[in-house]
């Protein structure tokens, strides 16, 4: 790194690591981020309705 006088010399970012940035589509991750919590709260609602109906 030191000793290179060329301003266009590209060095590897030591903080980036070996994994590099993900090249996946962000829409897939956003969809999963919406569907999973929605499913969890739906299941909680269904369980609460079953308990309410069973307690009558």
Confidence of residue 32 (pLDDT cuts 50, 70, 90): very high
Q: How confident is the model at residue 7 (pLDDT cuts 50, 70, 90)?
A: low
The per-residue pLDDT for 25 is 85
The pLDDT of residue 55 is above 90: yes
Position 13 confidence tier, pLDDT thresholds 50, 70, 90:
low
Per-domain residue ranges of the chain: 26-56
Q: How sure is the predictor about 2, in pLDDT bands with cuts at 50, 70 and 90?
A: low
Distances (CA, A) of 32 to 26, 36, 39, 40: 10, 6, 10, 12
Which residue bears the tokens 């962000």? 26
Question: How far is residue 5's CA from residue 54's CA, in Å, rounded to a whole number?
Answer: 78
Average pLDDT over residues 3-12: 66
Q: Are 1 and 11 in contact (CB under 8 A)?
A: yes
């Amino acid at each position: 790194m030191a000793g290179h006088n060329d301003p266009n010399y590209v060095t590897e970012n030591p903080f980036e690591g070996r994994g590099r940035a993900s090249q996946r589509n962000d829409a897939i991750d956003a969809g999963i981020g919406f569907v999973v919590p929605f499913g969890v709260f739906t299941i909680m609602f269904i369980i609460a309705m079953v308990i309410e109906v069973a307690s009558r």
